[in-house]
Structure 1
Amino acid sequence: MEIRNLFQPFELDLVEVTEYESNKHKNTFFEMVFVLDGKGVQIINNNKLPYSCDKLFLVFPQDTHTFEVATPSRFFFIRFNETYLKTQSKEWIQKLEFIFHNSNHSPSCILKTITDKPLIRALVEALIREKINQQPQQEEVIKQLINIIITIAARNILLVLPLALKNQSTINALPLVSYIHQNIYEPKMLLAKTFAKHFNVSPTYISEYFKTQTGQSLQEYITAYKLKLIETRLQFTDMHISEIVDELGFSDASHLNKLFKKYKGVSPSEFKKSVNK
């Protein structure tokens, strides 16, 4: 199977195809695919779903990916790698991490809000114009447009049930987990009494209430989310353990190491070595 690499922080690519494409491949970078025209089937990790115009897809490193083209199609690809991530602000990276944590790596369109489809199309068309026209500060404008698209993608994923919640009371569950995602870097905001006050629930009942809505206790969910963020840091950044400790509110490096090894079976350094291989 072909493995594709990206040798620059980001890349934009407009592709037009008229026939069946069977070149299944894996990337070592992140890829957003917007369908400008055409119909067919997108295949990610052997899962198939039809594609049509104004759909946006996410393809992650190591996902297998290809298309089956039914009618002449135009795709716009936004590709970016770890180097690009390191140039962004902490807040922007946190938005992207939300996508990492909640996407199920399926070939479904992530745009759940109808009004966002023409918005994304307009942004993509603006990127195409910027790529063609050599204007002052072109690269900065392109970066801003890419970041807006990613932010809109994150907003739409908020509408999808995160972490395969077991309980079907999604109307009640979504605000709970969204509050955790928004405050994961502020430990004081995740204390049971603070959490309970925000949702007007008794502090003695909040964990039971959270489990009723999500299938997990409050602490279980917070721990699982923090572990996923640690994995993301270890896999896609060069952050030191001490930096992750400070950012996620651990008492010290020993605390983080013990927690990670308890749930993952290996130390953070061992995990980083394994993913780098």
Structure 2
Amino acid sequence: MDRTFFIYRDFEVYSVDEYSWRKERHRHNFFELLFIEFGTGTHILNTNEHQYKSNDVYFLTPGDIHSFRTIEPTRFHCLRFLPGFFSGVGEVSELEKLFYYHNRTQGCLTLESSDQAFFESLILKVVSEAAQHKKRHNELIRHLMSSILQLILRSVTVKKGINSGKNTEDLRVDNILSYIRANITNPHLLKKRIIAERFSVSVNYIGEYVKKHLNVSLREYIEECKMQIIKKRLTQGNRTFSEIGSDLGFIDSSHFNRFIRRNTGKSPSEFRALLNK
């Protein structure tokens, strides 16, 4: 089975320079806008092979499977997001339309020539804002991403009358992940029964449902979300273990300590020292 990659926040930017790289087949459980700033190589998207080049843009939806092989040194900018990143229902509705996008047969985005330079400048501005963390950068990035989505919609033909059952399932999984991240500090809201009721899935099937779509268990995803928050708080400021554990809904310090040891093999103090190195 192809490996599945996740993000544990609603939005992130991953930029990387690769000189001799072969990325094996994998899928994402998020949307990804992939911009090739420079370089050449082969990009296999689902069953279609593309020879990518500088300034190519790919828009990947959850469930797409792809792989890479660089030929010349390449700089990739990956803008990754989930529907929960957008605060308004309008943008989420636009994402639903993009599920019909034709990348399963064509792949590389073809923008109007008058939009190309502007589109690229928007992407690079998002990359810059994400790296610098200036004041109100989240709000600015959200507006920039909304503009990017509108340009994508203008450049593609949204097909009508297609059975959207698979698309609806993908969006429901994304919404489950967004719900988990939003309530990660409230363990009582992350019980199987609560999640199952909220998303109209049988409580006896919710675990299997998540495993089927994510290739990880519900518990594994929840624990990884907690670990991401713990790592951040252990390396930022001087918060005590008790404070961090309390923030995440642990009953007491002993439960927090056992959680850290089970996931890292180390005590909280040992894990903090390792992170700070």
TM-score, structure 2 as length reference: 0.58
Q: Offset of 1:81 from its aligned partner? A: 2.2
Amino acid at match of 1:128: V
1:116-154 CA-to-partner distances (Å, cap 9, x unmatched) read: 221111112212221232321011111211221122111
- Give identity over the alignment, percent: 21
Q: How does 1:257-268 map to 2 (within 5 A)?
A: none
Cα pair distance change 1:69/1:107, threshold 3 Å: farther
Contact 1:30/1:79, CA 8 A, preserved across alignment: yes
Cα pair distance change 1:234/1:53, threshold 3 Å: same
Cα pair distance change 1:4/1:229, threshold 3 Å: closer
The separation in 1 between residues aligned to 2:21 and 2:135, in whole angstroms, is 39
Q: How does 1:195-234 map to 2 (within 5 A)?
A: 221=161, 224=162, 234=172
Contact 2:45/2:107, CA 8 A, preserved across alignment: no
Unaligned stretches of 5+ residues in structure 2: 177-199, 213-277
1:14-40 CA-to-partner distances (Å, cap 9, x unmatched) read: 111111313222212121101111111
TM-score, structure 1 as length reference: 0.58
1:96 corresponds in structure 2 to 95
1:11 corresponds in structure 2 to 12
The separation in 2 between residues aligned to 1:107 and 1:227, in whole angstroms, is 22
Unaligned stretches of 5+ residues in structure 1: 164-176, 178-220, 239-267
Q: Offset of 1:42 from its aligned partner? A: 0.9
Contact 2:44/2:67, CA 8 A, preserved across alignment: yes
1:33 corresponds in structure 2 to 34
Aligned length: 184
**Counterpart of 2:72 in 1: which secondary structure?**
coil
Cα pair distance change 1:107/1:67, threshold 3 Å: farther
**Counterpart of 1:88 in 2: which secondary structure?**
coil
The separation in 2 between residues aligned to 1:7 and 1:70, in whole angstroms, is 31
The separation in 2 between residues aligned to 1:76 and 1:96, in whole angstroms, is 20
Contact 2:41/2:69, CA 8 A, preserved across alignment: yes
Contact 1:19/1:72, CA 8 A, preserved across alignment: yes
Q: How does 1:145-160 map to 2 (within 5 A)?
A: 145-158=144-157
Amino acid at match of 2:88: S
Deviating more after overlay: 97-106 vs 112-121: 97-106
The separation in 2 between residues aligned to 1:146 and 1:89, in whole angstroms, is 13
The separation in 2 between residues aligned to 1:228 and 1:2, in whole angstroms, is 19
Q: Offset of 1:229 from its aligned partner? A: 7.0
Cα pair distance change 1:132/1:236, threshold 3 Å: closer
1:180-229 CA-to-partner distances (Å, cap 9, x unmatched) read: xxxxxxxxxxxxxxxxxxxxxxxxxxxxxxxxxxxxxxxxx4xx567677
